[in-house]
Amino acid sequence: MKFSKLIKVRESCRDFDGSRNIDVDLLKKIVKEGGIAPSASNKQPWYFRVASKKEDVEKLRVLLTENNVNTFLSQCPAFVLITKTEKEAPIDTENNFFRNMSSFDCGAACSHLILSASSLGLSTCIIGYFNREKIGEFFEVNEEEETLMVIVAIGYAKSDEPRAKKRKSFDEICEFI
Ligand SMILES: Cc1cc2nc3c(=O)[nH]c(=O)nc-3n(C[C@H](O)[C@H](O)[C@H](O)COP(=O)(O)O)c2cc1C
């Protein structure tokens, strides 16, 4: 699929087909392609934890939809937690260079991952709204060493008809200087 088409068909899915699971090799490919993203000093400050076994997925669905948030996740067959493995410390405080790059890098990896999924006919939704403590405990993240960033919900969408994108106009987001 051409890149310009890929970025148009990629959209946040909130209507997963709960009856379709994802092949583990497909999940591996998607995560590998996430890890191809560029990063400052090529530090690759990310780590991916994939939950796709039925029992784990069921537990996660409960945690992620607690208090009636993101309830569509009750149909999602796989989740990828992305953590940041570097602290946000300025490398060069005097010149103010290279600040806050790790979060930016994780965003790039996440973007690669979701586009990879779309290119393979899968759908995703980035989930930023969740209880960090409970999810960290579930995935056994040592928060002294890693920071929870987002969870990517992955599955097959019930409908493959893309919605129109709601985006700022070109002039609002860009100027040529
Ligand atoms: C960091 C981040 C966190 C997000 N968290 C959620 C979330 O918790 N629940 C949700 O339904 N969508 C979430 N989204 C999806 C956005 O709402 C969505 O990307 C945006 O509205 C644009 O729509 P599109 O992805 O369909 O193009 C998140 C997106 C990002 C980038």
Give the pLDDT of the chain (177 residues) as one tens digit per residue: 899 999 999 999 999 999 999 999 999 999 999 999 999 889 999 999 999 999 999 999 999 999 999 999 999 999 999 999 998 766 666 776 666 789 999 999 999 999 999 999 999 999 999 999 999 999 999 999 999 999 999 999 998 788 999 999 999 999 999
Sequence-ordered alpha helix ranges (H) in 11-153? 24-34, 54-65, 101-119, 132-138
Q: Whose CA is nearest to atom 21 of ligand 1?
A: 12
Q: Which two tokens stand for residue 17?
A: 């087909």
Q: What phi, psi does 166 have (nearest 5°)?
A: -100, 110
Q: Whose CA is nearest to atom 31 of ligand 1?
A: 126
**Index of the ligand 1 atom closest to the CA of residue 110:** 31
pTM of the model: 0.96
Q: What is the pLDDT of residue 93?
A: 66
Domains and CATH numbers, the chain: 3-173 (3.40.109.10)
CA atoms within 13 A on the CB side of 49: 21
Q: Which residues contact 123 (CB under 8 A, 6 or more apart)?
A: 11, 13, 16, 117, 154, 155, 156, 157
Report residues whose beta carbon is within 6 angstroms of any ligand 1 atom. 11-12, 14, 70, 125-129, 150, 165
Distance 92 CA to ligand 1 centre (A): 33
Pocket test for ligand 1, best of 127, 130, 131, 160 (most atoms within 8 A of CB): 127
Q: What is the pLDDT of residue 54?
A: 97
| 69, 113, 131, 169 from 72: Cα distances, Å | 9, 20, 17, 30
Q: What is the pLDDT of residue 41?
A: 87
Q: What is the pLDDT of residue 39?
A: 95
